Structure 1
Amino acid sequence: MSYVFVACTILLTVYGQLIIKWQVLAAGDVPTDGGDKIWFILQLLSNLWIISALIAAFLASLTWMAAMTKLQLSHAYPFMSLAFVLVVVFSSWFFNEPITTPKVVGVALVMLGLAVGSQG
């Protein structure tokens, strides 16, 4: 069950990052004027999608705490690197971000590191 909590933490984290990116793209550039910046941020914070991303971050914290009751931090934390892998893949699908050679190498190194690190 502990690994289910780790997986939930990863998925909730990735969900939050993708939703925030999506909504920030939809909102446009941050205004240059100070007052407009505050209004821009307040509008984002009142956006239901952004609120869902913030709730996901909170829930990710709760599922991580549950995982930590059974797993060693040094064993469980490397699995969080899967969030990086999933964000690379999903940002390519949803936002047409390029998957470059350095990203592929980085993902491969992360996966290799996870495979090695999870052995001990």
Structure 2
Amino acid sequence: MKYIGFILFTVLTNAAAQLMLKHGMMTLGPLSFAGVNPIFKILQIVFSPWVFLGLCTFVISMASHLFVLSKVELSFAYPFLSLAYVAVAIFAYFVFREDLNAWRIAGIAAICVGTILIAQGGSGHEVVAEPIPSSDIKTSELAR
């Protein structure tokens, strides 16, 4: 539980990135590649302000997730990422006026319950990972 703050930071930056990407794509309007060089169109999308900010936020989220993975068990840390769906669904309801019906609320509740169970039942202890020496594995052994 020592690294729960970093895990939640990863979740929130992941959710924030999704919201920024959605906003960015909404400001660009419907996509059409007709009569336009696809490479130019992709660059136009990637470098539009909100999309670019969302992608940068994803990089921050991934850096945080890599830090977390270096400290705790994967089976403990990874399920917490499902909380990003919860955050996105709630914020999308308020910001983009997206539908939040009974089925989605039930799914959100199930995700929350599952995450709580994992947090209670998982160790979340710091893991000291020893690197696998590359000299121990030979290419000829992998071919077998």
**TM-score, scaled to structure 2:** 0.76
- Higher CA-based Rg: 2
Please, which moves more after superposition, 74-83 or 32-41? 32-41
8 Å CA contact 2:21–2:54 kept in 1: the answer is yes
Unpaired stretches in structure 1, ≥5 consecutive residues: none
1:66-81 counterparts in 2 under 5 A? Answer: 66-81=67-82
Partner of 2:97: 96
8 Å CA contact 1:78–1:118 kept in 2: the answer is no
Question: 1:1-27: per-residue Cα shift (whole Å, max 9, x none)?
Answer: 522221111111111100110110111
Please, which moves more after superposition, 81-90 or 50-59? 50-59
Give the Cα separation in 1 of the matches to 2:95 and 2:49.
Answer: 19
Partner of 2:119: 118
Following TM superposition, where does structure 1 have runs of at least 4 consecutive aligned residues deviating by more than 4 angstroms?
none
* Displacement after TM superposition at 1:32 (Å): 4.8
Partner of 1:30: 31
Please, which moves more after superposition, 15-24 or 109-118? 109-118
Question: 1:27-73: per-residue Cα shift (whole Å, max 9, x none)?
Answer: 11111526365443221211122211111111111111111122111
* Displacement after TM superposition at 1:74 (Å): 0.5
Give the Cα separation in 1 of the matches to 2:81 and 2:62.
Answer: 12
8 Å CA contact 1:9–1:60 kept in 2: the answer is yes
Give the Cα separation in 1 of the matches to 2:35 and 2:64.
Answer: 37
Secondary structure of residue in 1 paired with 2:120: coil
Secondary structure of residue in 2 paired with 1:40: helix
8 Å CA contact 1:2–1:66 kept in 2: the answer is no
Partner of 2:56: 55
RMSD of aligned alpha carbons: 1.6
More helix by share: 1
* Displacement after TM superposition at 1:118 (Å): 2.0
Unpaired stretches in structure 2, ≥5 consecutive residues: 122-144
Paired residue total: 120
Partner of 1:85: 86
